[in-house]
Amino acid sequence: MGIKRLNHAVLYVSDVSRSSDFYREVLGFRAKPGAQPDRAVFAQAADSDNDHDLALFARNLGQQRAGVFSPRGETPGAHEPPAGLYHLAWEVDTLQELKRIRDQLAAIGKLGLEEDHGVHKSVYGHDPDGLLFEVTWFVPADRLTEADRHSDGTLDWDRELARFARQE
């Protein structure tokens, strides 16, 4: 068990629309519908069945909630570029593996946020240089519920582990 693949990359960009057009016109990415296309675009690669392979976020104006864990609009720190890589997301095969990694990150003091994104569950951490990464597990399509589509973001480990105890 362990990391399955790189799932997606998230970039801070100076102009979301311009970058979205570039990735669509030059590389064939398809933007998914979103509530704030001027602030964030999630896109799939041309031949991908992944939920999203690339996310483009408006440049870092202090909203890097999973980076420094401070969503209140603080000025980015020196290690938080206004444009550039925000984080990479690694995918695992099982919720149990995600929990194992979560526990290991917690044990070494590198665990950040834990979030329920509806279609996927995620933990965030920092490497020894402070670079942000996400580890994610996707709910199998045949197990998605309406509640998954309207998650409040809170990851309830006990509930999810009980729900997916028979996933393997």
The domain that contains 132 carries what CATH number?
A: 3.10.180.10
Whether 39 is covered by a domain: the verdict is yes
User: Is residue 168 included in any domain, yes or no?
Assistant: no
Q: Which of 5-9, 33-37, 125-129, 140-144 has the lowest mean pLDDT?
A: 125-129
Angle at 17 between CA 136 and CA 26, to 5 degrees: 80
Dist CA 142 CA 156 (whole Å): 20
pLDDT at 130 over 90: no
**Spatial separation of the C-alpha atoms in residues 22 and 38, rounded to whole Å:** 15
pLDDT of residue 163: 92
Is residue 20 in a domain?
yes
* CB proximity list for 32: less than 8 A, separation 6 or greater: 41, 42, 43, 44, 52
Cα separation, 131 vs 116, whole angstroms: 21
Chain mean pLDDT for the chain? 82
Q: How confident is the model at residue 160 (pLDDT cuts 50, 70, 90)?
A: very high
More confident: 65 or 87: 87
Q: Which of 97-101, 108-112, 125-129, 163-167 has the highest mean pLDDT?
A: 97-101
Structure-model confidence comparison of residues 76 and 100, the more confident one: 100
Q: What is the structure's pLDDT at 138?
A: 92
Q: Given a cut of 50, is residue 70 above it in pLDDT?
A: no
43, 52 Cβ separation under 8 angstroms = yes
Cα–Cα distance between 93 and 163 in angstroms, integer? Answer: 16
35 in a domain, yes or no? yes
Range of the domain at 130: 3-163
What is the reported pTM?
0.70
* 76: its two tokens: 């980015």
Residue 114 lies in a domain: yes
37-64 tens-digit pLDDT:
888 899 998 888 888 999 888 876 555 5
| Cβ partners under 8 Å of residue 6, min gap 6 | 88, 89, 90, 91
Q: In the β-sheet with 120-126, what is the strand arrangement from edge to edge?
A: 30-31, 40-44, 54-58, 3-13, 84-92, 132-138, 120-126, 111-116
26: buried, middle or exposed (CB in 10 Å: 19+, 13-18, 0-12)?
A: exposed
Question: Which is more confidently placed, 61 or 151?
Answer: 151
Number of domains composing the chain: 1
Q: What is the pLDDT of residues 80-89, one digit of tens each?
A: 666 777 788 8
Task: Give domain status of residue 57, yes or no.
Answer: yes
